[in-house]
Protein backbone atom coordinates (compact mmCIF):
# COMPACT_ATOMS: atom_id res chain seq x y z
CA UNK A 1 0.00 0.00 0.00
CA UNK A 2 1.26 3.50 -0.82
CA UNK A 3 1.24 6.30 1.75
CA UNK A 4 1.52 9.95 0.77
CA UNK A 5 4.45 11.76 2.38
CA UNK A 6 5.92 15.24 2.32
CA UNK A 7 9.36 16.64 2.99
CA UNK A 8 9.37 17.49 6.67
CA UNK A 9 12.96 18.71 6.86
CA UNK A 10 16.60 18.20 6.00
CA UNK A 11 19.09 17.13 8.64
CA UNK A 12 22.64 15.90 9.02
CA UNK A 13 23.56 12.48 10.39
CA UNK A 14 26.39 13.16 12.81
CA UNK A 15 27.62 9.57 12.66
CA UNK A 16 28.22 9.67 8.90
CA UNK A 17 28.28 13.44 8.22
CA UNK A 18 25.66 12.72 5.55
CA UNK A 19 22.58 14.81 4.74
CA UNK A 20 19.23 13.16 5.45
CA UNK A 21 15.87 14.10 3.98
CA UNK A 22 13.06 13.40 6.43
CA UNK A 23 9.79 12.41 4.76
CA UNK A 24 6.70 12.67 6.96
CA UNK A 25 3.50 10.70 6.49
CA UNK A 26 0.64 13.06 5.64
CA UNK A 27 -2.06 12.71 8.28
CA UNK A 28 0.14 10.49 10.42
CA UNK A 29 3.14 10.52 12.71
CA UNK A 30 5.60 8.21 10.97
CA UNK A 31 8.67 9.52 9.21
CA UNK A 32 11.06 8.01 6.71
CA UNK A 33 14.68 9.22 6.84
CA UNK A 34 16.63 8.79 3.59
CA UNK A 35 20.37 9.48 3.46
CA UNK A 36 21.23 11.57 0.39
CA UNK A 37 24.18 13.31 -1.21
CA UNK A 38 25.12 16.93 -0.50
CA UNK A 39 24.26 18.07 -4.04
CA UNK A 40 20.75 16.68 -3.82
CA UNK A 41 20.36 18.09 -0.29
CA UNK A 42 21.32 21.48 -1.67
CA UNK A 43 18.83 21.15 -4.55
CA UNK A 44 16.03 20.21 -2.14
CA UNK A 45 16.97 22.99 0.31
CA UNK A 46 17.06 25.60 -2.46
CA UNK A 47 13.60 24.57 -3.64
CA UNK A 48 12.20 24.57 -0.09
CA UNK A 49 13.61 28.09 0.29
CA UNK A 50 11.89 29.02 -3.01
CA UNK A 51 15.12 30.31 -4.54
CA UNK A 52 14.95 31.30 -8.17
CA UNK A 53 17.82 31.28 -10.63
CA UNK A 54 18.26 32.94 -13.99
CA UNK A 55 19.47 29.66 -15.54
CA UNK A 56 18.02 26.21 -14.89
CA UNK A 57 19.76 23.93 -12.43
CA UNK A 58 19.91 20.18 -13.13
CA UNK A 59 16.54 19.31 -11.56
CA UNK A 60 14.92 22.30 -13.26
CA UNK A 61 16.34 21.03 -16.54
CA UNK A 62 14.78 17.60 -15.96
CA UNK A 63 11.40 19.28 -15.45
CA UNK A 64 11.88 21.33 -18.61
CA UNK A 65 12.87 18.27 -20.67
CA UNK A 66 9.85 16.31 -19.44
CA UNK A 67 7.52 19.18 -20.32
CA UNK A 68 9.15 19.75 -23.74
CA UNK A 69 8.66 16.07 -24.57
CA UNK A 70 4.98 16.29 -23.68
CA UNK A 71 5.28 14.58 -20.33
CA UNK A 72 4.19 15.57 -16.86
CA UNK A 73 5.37 14.12 -13.57
CA UNK A 74 2.31 12.63 -11.91
CA UNK A 75 3.93 11.34 -8.74
CA UNK A 76 7.03 9.92 -7.15
CA UNK A 77 7.02 6.57 -5.38
CA UNK A 78 9.74 5.54 -2.92
CA UNK A 79 9.46 1.82 -3.60
CA UNK A 80 11.98 -0.16 -1.59
CA UNK A 81 15.30 -0.32 0.22
CA UNK A 82 17.98 -2.92 -0.50
CA UNK A 83 21.25 -3.00 1.41
CA UNK A 84 20.67 0.53 2.73
CA UNK A 85 20.00 1.87 -0.79
CA UNK A 86 16.57 3.38 -1.42
CA UNK A 87 14.86 3.14 -4.80
CA UNK A 88 12.21 5.35 -6.35
CA UNK A 89 10.16 5.71 -9.50
CA UNK A 90 9.10 8.82 -11.35
CA UNK A 91 5.62 8.24 -12.75
CA UNK A 92 5.31 10.36 -15.88
CA UNK A 93 2.18 10.78 -17.97
CA UNK A 94 2.67 11.31 -21.70
CA UNK A 95 0.03 11.03 -24.41
CA UNK A 96 -2.31 9.24 -22.02
CA UNK A 97 0.32 6.63 -21.10
CA UNK A 98 1.99 6.26 -17.71
CA UNK A 99 5.72 5.72 -17.85
CA UNK A 100 7.71 4.55 -14.82
CA UNK A 101 11.32 5.75 -14.65
CA UNK A 102 13.82 4.34 -12.15
CA UNK A 103 15.45 7.15 -10.17
CA UNK A 104 17.17 7.92 -6.91
CA UNK A 105 14.75 9.15 -4.23
CA UNK A 106 16.78 12.33 -3.69
CA UNK A 107 16.57 13.34 -7.36
CA UNK A 108 12.92 12.28 -7.49
CA UNK A 109 12.07 14.45 -4.47
CA UNK A 110 13.98 17.44 -5.91
CA UNK A 111 12.02 17.15 -9.17
CA UNK A 112 8.66 16.55 -7.43
CA UNK A 113 9.10 19.69 -5.32
CA UNK A 114 9.66 21.76 -8.46
CA UNK A 115 6.41 20.66 -10.13
CA UNK A 116 4.27 20.14 -7.02
CA UNK A 117 3.96 16.41 -7.70
CA UNK A 118 2.82 14.15 -4.91
CA UNK A 119 5.33 11.88 -3.18
CA UNK A 120 4.43 8.41 -1.93
CA UNK A 121 6.31 5.75 0.02
CA UNK A 122 5.53 2.08 0.36
CA UNK A 123 3.84 1.51 3.72
CA UNK A 124 6.40 -1.19 4.60
CA UNK A 125 9.21 1.39 4.42
CA UNK A 126 7.41 3.59 6.94
CA UNK A 127 6.81 0.58 9.18
CA UNK A 128 10.47 -0.46 9.03
CA UNK A 129 11.68 3.03 9.94
CA UNK A 130 9.69 2.88 13.23
CA UNK A 131 10.42 6.52 13.96
CA UNK A 132 7.71 8.89 15.10
CA UNK A 133 7.75 12.67 15.11
CA UNK A 134 7.74 13.88 18.72
CA UNK A 135 7.64 17.57 17.92
CA UNK A 136 8.44 19.93 15.07
CA UNK A 137 12.04 20.46 16.18
CA UNK A 138 13.52 17.01 16.72
CA UNK A 139 13.31 13.66 15.00
CA UNK A 140 14.23 11.07 17.64
CA UNK A 141 16.82 8.41 17.03
CA UNK A 142 18.08 5.48 19.06
CA UNK A 143 19.15 6.24 22.61
CA UNK A 144 16.99 9.37 22.75
CA UNK A 145 19.33 11.41 20.58
CA UNK A 146 17.95 13.01 17.46
CA UNK A 147 18.51 14.79 14.23
CA UNK A 148 17.85 18.49 14.34
CA UNK A 149 16.28 19.60 11.08
CA UNK A 150 17.84 22.24 8.89
CA UNK A 151 15.23 24.71 7.68
CA UNK A 152 16.48 26.82 4.75
CA UNK A 153 16.03 30.56 5.10
CA UNK A 154 14.20 32.10 2.14
CA UNK A 155 16.35 35.24 2.49
CA UNK A 156 19.54 33.30 1.66
CA UNK A 157 20.89 33.51 -1.85
CA UNK A 158 22.34 30.42 -3.53
CA UNK A 159 25.90 31.06 -2.41
CA UNK A 160 24.86 31.74 1.20
CA UNK A 161 22.83 28.52 1.24
CA UNK A 162 25.71 26.47 -0.18
CA UNK A 163 28.08 28.02 2.36
CA UNK A 164 25.61 27.30 5.17
CA UNK A 165 25.15 23.67 4.10
CA UNK A 166 28.92 23.14 3.83
CA UNK A 167 29.48 24.81 7.19
CA UNK A 168 27.04 22.69 9.17
CA UNK A 169 28.77 21.27 12.21
CA UNK A 170 27.91 17.61 12.73
CA UNK A 171 28.10 18.23 16.49
CA UNK A 172 24.98 20.41 16.15
CA UNK A 173 22.99 17.31 15.28
CA UNK A 174 22.26 14.14 17.16
CA UNK A 175 23.21 10.68 15.97
CA UNK A 176 20.60 8.82 13.98
CA UNK A 177 20.78 5.36 12.47
CA UNK A 178 17.90 3.32 11.07
Separation CA 148–CA 136 (nearest Å): 10
Domains of the chain (ranges; CATH) run 2-172 (3.10.690.10)
Q: Where are the alpha helices (DSSP H) in 91-166?
A: 105-115, 123-129, 158-166
User: By the 8 A CB rule, do 22 and 140 touch?
Assistant: no
Q: Report the predicted TM-score, pTM, of the whole model to 2 decimal places.
A: 0.74
How high is the pLDDT of residue 15? 80
Separation CA 164–CA 80 (nearest Å): 31
Q: Counting Cβ atoms within 10 Å, is residue 118 exposed (0-12), middle (13-18) or buried (19+)?
A: middle
The tens-digit pLDDT sequence of the chain (178 residues) is 999 999 999 998 888 888 999 999 999 989 999 999 999 999 999 899 888 888 888 999 999 999 999 999 999 999 999 988 999 999 999 999 999 999 999 999 999 999 999 999 999 999 887 444 444 444 444 333 345 455 455 455 556 655 555 555 444 433 333 3
How high is the pLDDT of residue 76? 98
Q: b or e along 61-81 (b: 16 or more beta carbons within 10 Å of the residue's beta carbon)?
A: ebbeebeeeebebbbbbbbeb
How high is the pLDDT of residue 57? 87
Separation CA 153–CA 22 (nearest Å): 17
Reduce the DSSP state of residue 139 to 3 states and report it: strand
How high is the pLDDT of residue 138? 42
Amino acid sequence: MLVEVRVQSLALDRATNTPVVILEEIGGERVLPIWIGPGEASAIAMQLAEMEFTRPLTHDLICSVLKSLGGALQKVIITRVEQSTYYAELIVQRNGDLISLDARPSDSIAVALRVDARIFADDELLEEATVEVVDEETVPGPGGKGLHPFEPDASMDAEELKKHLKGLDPEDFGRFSP
